[in-house]
Structure 1
Amino acid sequence: MIALLRAAVPLFLAMVTGMFGSLVVTSVLGRYDTVALAAFAVMSAVLTPASATVQGALRGLGPFVAQHKDSPATAVPIVRDARWLAMAAGTVGALAVTCVPLLAHATGVPGEVVRELGALPYLVAVYLLVFASTGGASTILVALGHHRSVLWPTLTFGLLLSVLTVALVPPLGLTGVGIAWVVGGVAAAVVASLLLRRALGGPIGQARPRIGEIVKLARVSVPLAGTVLIKFGVLGVVTLAAGGTGARDTAAHAVLTMLTAFMMMASLAIGQVSVPEIARAADPAAARRANRSAALLALAATLAGAGLLLAFGSPLVTLFSDDPAVRERVLALLPLMTLAAVADAAQAVQGTGLTALKRSGASLGYFAIGYGLLVLAAVPVARTWGITGLWMAMAVANVLLVGLQGTGFHRHSAKVAG
């Protein structure tokens, strides 16, 4: 368990660094112009699920590469196949973000906000293609045991995004944010490629696509991307449902969602570093032991974060809102949010365990059940019980997923044979 924790720390720091860059962008735009900030929020509504879906697809490569940890050079053909799959996922994501102005106009976003977008959707599309060109380098590095290496590309991106945003937004507005995103993405891609080349012991090169092998990767990666898309899509519906409960409750929901994202980082990092251990397990007992260690560690980390929130919630919430009514609602709902986050952490680890077993399709089915029920309940629950009911519904959905994902992992791990 100690080894798992040590491996997860660099990945956790990488996630924090990535979120810090986004917070800097939001802060700078908020001080620059309200319309620009609104336009960025519209852009983020599509960019967040698009980039998360691309990242989800790339994480499906882990169990295939993990088998080659002791002889990294033999993983090169898989890395080449991964590049083809990554570029396909990146192209889909890039097309989605270029459609933001059309989607914004169709959904009634004010014209001045749509016009403010300018070149940002196209610059962000370039960033997604650059990110995809690395072929899931971070996932591959984790699978090969180079956990510390994953920090450097994200640190490079986060620092450049922050510095360039501060420098370019005053003269260029949202176009400056787009340029910062592209420059940071290119620099991070170069760092990731160099680290990957060193981990593999030589150049990767390129070859004609092996369709059959790419299909094998896609059978794990595409359902994983679908799972991420379902989650973000349903949470978007939940946010819209919260929007009908009043401005202060909506603001409180936004703060609670952000706090949940921070709490989930540790469990996501632990789940990802457990994938190679489960993928290389010689028998069902070893796979379940690795999964159990990851689950216990993720729960401990999440509960530690929850304890800090409950103990120091008041000063922390002040950082996000100066409205006493909003702070009061957030503090009142912290215990319920903690329950939902702890259950989410537990189900996330079970889901990554299924990915390690190359059974992400089963996880997709479980998400369709759990979050399908949540999306059906969101609007009527919000109308009847407000955001208190919404967070209770999310907690119930996550607890249901813990049962479904855990049972699924136990069943599929029985088929492990070294």
Structure 2
Amino acid sequence: MIALLRAAVPLFFAMAMGMVGSLVVTSVLGKHDTVTLAAFAVMTAVLNPASAAVQGALRGLGPFVAQYRDDPGAAVPIVRDARWLSLTTGTVGALAVLSVPLLAGVTGVPGEVVRELGLLPYFLAAYLLVFASTGGTSTILIALGRSRNVLWPTLVSGLVLSVLTAALVPPLGLTGVGIAWLIAGTAAAGVASLILRRALGRPIGQARPRIAEIISLAKVSVPLAGTVLIKFGVLGVVTFAASTTSTRDTAAHAVLTTLTGFMMMASLSIAQASVPEVARAADTAGARRAQRAAALLAITGTLVGAGLLLGFGERLMVLFSDDAAVRERVLALLPLMLVSSAADAAQAVQGMGLTALKRSAASLVYFAIGYGLLVLAAVPVARTWGITGLWAAMAVANGLLVVLQGTGFHRHSAKVSTAAATAM
């Protein structure tokens, strides 16, 4: 457990730095104009699933690279294979981001919110392509046992994004956010490339695609990307449903979504750090032991985060909006958001465990069930109970996933010993 904690701490700080950038963006936009913040919420409803799908596909590298911890240079061919997948998903994600204005107009988002988007979709589409070009640097470093190095690209990105957002939003609005995001992503990609080359001990270079190897990688990566896409895609639908209630409720939903990201940092960092440990386990007991340690640490981190938000929630709200009505709505819904986030944190650890076992397809099925029910309920719930009902529905969906993911990991981990024997 100590080794897992040491690997997770740098990842937590990396996520925290990335979260700082998001918090600064939300805070600056909230103080700039409520309509601007609502438009940003609509934009992130597509940006989040698109970028998360790219990141999810790259996380599928983990169990493949982990076996080369003692010989990092041997993982270079896998890194090359992964680039083909990441660039493909990045291109698809960029096209989705460009379609946001059209999608928002069709789904009934107020015209003033749609017009506020301006050039933001174009800058964020370019950012996604830059992000995809990194080829899963963070996942590779984690799998090789060098999670400390993950902090630096995120640190650069968070600092650049924060400074440029504060400087560019007052004169340029959401266009300023787009410029800041693209510059920050480009800077982070440059730093990540240098760190990865040093970790591998050799340049990655170019090579023809190895079809068979790419297919093997895709069998884990594509379902994982699909899982992430389902989650954030459905959450995007929830955001669109929230945006049909009122501008203030949409802004409140944006703040709550940002706070959810804060709650998830501990569990996600621990889940990612546990992938190499579960993937390298020689038997069922070892895999389950690593998973239990990860679950215990994730739950502890979630409880700490919940305590901080409950204790300082009222003071934090001032950072996000000058609109008293928006702050009141966020505070009223904070306990419900914490319940939803706690369940989400628990299921995330189980899901990454399935990825470590190269069983991300099973996790995809579970998400299709849990979040499929949520997407069907989102619009009717929003019309009947508003964003309060939406957050209650998310809590129920995440609770269902805890049961499904946990049961799935228990079943598939029972095959670890058999798989190891077959490989030998």
- Do residues 268 (structure 1) and 306 (structure 2) align? no
Give 3-state SS (helix, strand or coil) of 1:399's partner: helix
For structure 1, which segment, 243-252 or 229-238, has the greater mean C-alpha deviation from structure 2 after superposition?
243-252
Change (3 A) 1:21 1:212: same
Q: Return the alpha-carbon distance in structure 2 between the equivalents of residues 65 and 204 of structure 1.
A: 14
| Residue in structure 2 matched with residue 224 of structure 1 by the alignment | 224
Corresponding position of 1:394: 394
Question: For the residues of structure 1 that align with 2:32 and 2:388, how far apart are their CA atoms?
Answer: 34
Aligned to 1:211: 211
Residues in 2 aligned to 1:400 and 1:253: alpha-carbon distance in whole angstroms: 22
Query: Could you tell me how far apart the structure 2 residues matched to 1:16 and 1:91 are?
Result: 27
Which segment drifts farther, 213-222 or 12-21? 12-21
Q: Between 6-15 and 132-141, report the one with greater CA deviation.
A: 6-15
State how far apart, in whole Å, the 1-side matches of 2:206 and 2:385 are. Answer: 56
Aligned-pair distance for 1:147? 0.7
Q: Where does residue 305 of structure 1 map in the other structure?
A: 305
Contact 2:26 2:320 in 1 (8 A): no
Residue type matched to 2:395 in 1? A
1:143 aligned partner:
143
Tell me which moved more, 363-372 or 102-111.
102-111
Q: Separation in 2 of the partners of 1:249 and 1:29? A: 15
Instruction: Show the counterpart of 2:296.
Output: 296
Question: Is the deviation greater in 4-13 or in 249-258?
Answer: 249-258
Matched, 1:17 2:9: no
Mean Cα displacement is larger for which, 3-12 or 254-263?
A: 254-263
* Cα shift at 1:209: 0.4
Task: Give the unaligned 5+ runs of structure 2.
Answer: none
Match of 2:189 in 1: 189
More moved, 238-247 vs 160-169: 238-247
Q: Which amino acid aligns with 1:186?
A: T
Q: Deviations over 1:98-125 (max 9, x none)?
A: 2334334444556676565454333322
Aligned length: 418
Q: Secondary structure at the match of 2:68?
A: coil
Structure-2 change in CA distance of 1:157 and 1:311 (3 Å): closer
1:406 is matched with which residue? Answer: 406
> Paired residue for 2:256?
256
Shift of 1:359: 0.7
Give deviations 1:51-100, integer Å, cap 9, x for gaps.
Answer: 11111111111111111111111111101111111111111112222233
Cα shift at 1:175 = 4.1
Change beyond 3 A, Cα 1:160–1:333: closer
Q: Counterpart in 2 of 1:314?
A: 314
Instruction: Tell me which residue corresponds to 2:165.
Output: 165
The match for 2:102 is: 102
| Matched residue, 2:283 | 283
Match of 2:51 in 1: 51
- Inter-CA distance 87–244: structure 2 relative to 1 (3 Å threshold): closer
Q: 1:101–1:256: structure 2 CA closer, same or farther, 3 Å change rule?
A: closer
For 2:205 and 2:402, locate their aligned partners in 1 and report how far apart those are by CA, in whole Å: 42
Give the alignment's TM-score, normalised by structure 2: 0.89
The Cα shift of 1:252 comes to 4.7
Q: Percent identity?
A: 80
Give the deviation of 1:26 after TM superposition: 3.7
Q: Distance in 2 between matches of 1:381 and 1:62?
A: 38
Once the two structures are superposed, what CA deviation does each residue of 1:122-159 show, in whole Å capped at 9, x if it has no partner?
A: 33222211111110111111111111100100111111
Contact 2:41 2:251 in 1 (8 A): no
Distance across 1 between alignment mates of 2:39 and 2:239:
18
Structure 2 CA distance for partners of 1:120 and 1:338, relative to 1, 3 Å: closer
Deviations 1:8-59 (A, max 9, x none): 1211111121222233334444555666555544433322221111111111
**Residues 45 and 239, structure 2, Cα contact 8 Å, conserved in 1:** no
Paired position in structure 2 for 1:338: 338
Which whole-Å CA distance do the structure 2 matches of 1:379 and 1:387 have between them?
A: 10
1:373 maps to: 373
Length-normalised TM-score, structure 1? 0.90
Amino acid at match of 1:414: A
- The aligned amino acid for 2:355 is T
Of 349-358 and 117-126, more deviation after overlay is shown by 117-126
> 1-side partners of 2:86 and 2:411: how far apart?
30
> 1:175/1:381 Cα in 2 relative to 1: closer, same or farther (>3 Å)?
closer
Task: Determine the C-alpha separation between the residues in 2 that align with 1:305 and 1:28.
Answer: 23
- Tell me the secondary structure at the aligned position of residue 416 of structure 2: coil
Q: Distance in 1 between matches of 2:119 and 2:166?
A: 18
Structure 1 regions of 5+ residues with no counterpart? none
Matched, 1:354 2:354: yes
What aligned pairs does 1:3-42 form with structure 2 within 5 A after superposition? 3-30=3-30, 37=37, 39-42=39-42
Structure 2 counterpart of 1:261, which letter?
Answer: G
**What's the offset of the Cα at 1:189?**
1.1
Q: CA deviation at 1:348?
A: 0.5
Distance in 2, matches of 1:90 and 1:41, equals: 21
Match status 1:66 vs 2:30: no
Matches of 1:393 and 1:206, distance apart in 2: 47
Return closer, same or farther for 1:314/1:125 CA change in 2, 3 Å cut-off: closer
Q: Tell me the amino acid that sits aligned with residue 363 of structure 2.
A: S
The one-letter code sitting in structure 2 at the alignment partner of 1:408 is: G
Offset at 1:386?
A: 4.7
The one-letter code of the counterpart of 1:22 is S
1: CA distance, partners of 2:390 / 2:105: 29
Q: Render the CA deviation track for 1:273-314: whole Å, top value 9, x for unaligned.
A: 100101111111101100110001000110111122233333
Which is worse superposed, 301-310 or 280-289? 301-310
SS in 2 for 1:67: helix
Q: Pick closer, same or farther for the CA change 1:81–1:298 going to 2, 3 Å.
A: same
Distance 1:100 1:5, change over 3 A: same
Farther off after superposition, 124-133 or 281-290: 124-133
